[in-house]
Amino acid sequence: MTPRPRKVRIRRTRFLPTMSMGVGEQVRGVLPSARLGLTDYDLIVTDRRIVAAKIGSSGLAGAAGGLIGTAVSLGGQDTRRAKYAGMDVGQILASNKKNFDLPLGAVERGEFNAGISMVTMPTLSLWAAGKKMRFLFTHSFWKKNEGQVAYAKDLLTSTMPGKIEFKRI
């Protein structure tokens, strides 16, 4: 007996409706380890949208605490990232109910704050449909990585010209 094919549903984000994967959509870059609430995402930036791909959840790993919690969290993120390898952006979006996208045309404005080394995390705040989403870049908490900050600035400037503001760069 042949198993039934699994239905794939693309879920709509609570912020904006999803956009279908268009012909010729190009991935411009990835901003890794961005936390929104208790969920960690990689932000896949294309020429048309930002796709938030879930890589983990900080709730249970944080409860374990210390090095054990960090190891559990990072191991899970690497496993999730490996699962996304070979998928197109549309498949990544549909692969987890927590994944969502944000069309670049819907972004009213954005703010990237590089943070203060060893004091605050870099953040990306995006306003769309009158709502604000604030992502915390958890991988850069202890030491401000100038190379990662420059990469994020170049990527965001090229995809959202005139809509993004930078602080503490």
In a domain, 83, yes or no: yes
> Among the listed ranges 12-21, 38-47, 78-87, which one has the minimum average pLDDT value?
12-21
In a domain, 108, yes or no: yes
The two tokens of residue 83 are 């699962």
In a domain, 20, yes or no: no
Spatial distance between the Cα atoms of 156 and 112, rounded to a whole number of angstroms: 9
Structural domain range at position 50: 27-167
Q: Looking at residue 137, what is its pLDDT? A: 87
Tell me the β-bridge partners of 103: 49
Q: Looking at residue 70, what is its pLDDT? A: 42
Q: Are 128 and 107 a contacting pair, CB within 8 Å?
A: yes
In a domain, 135, yes or no: yes
Q: Looking at residue 88, what is its pLDDT? A: 87
In a domain, 149, yes or no: yes
The pLDDT tens digits for 10-42 are 333 333 333 344 568 899 999 988 999 999 999
Residue 1 CB-density burial (10 A; 0-12 exposed, 13-18 middle, 19+ buried): exposed
CATH number at residue 35: 2.30.29.30
Report the side by side order of strands in the sheet with 164-167.
100-103, 49-57, 39-46, 27-36, 131-137, 123-128, 107-113, 164-167
The pLDDT tens digits for 110-166 are 999 988 877 788 899 999 999 999 999 887 555 667 888 889 999 999 999 999 999
Report strand pairing: 107-113 vs 100-103. unpaired
In a domain, 8, yes or no: no
In a domain, 145, yes or no: yes
In a domain, 4, yes or no: no
Which H/E stretch holds residue 51? Answer: strand 49-57
The two tokens of residue 50 are 């930002």
Instruction: Count structural domains, the chain.
Output: 1
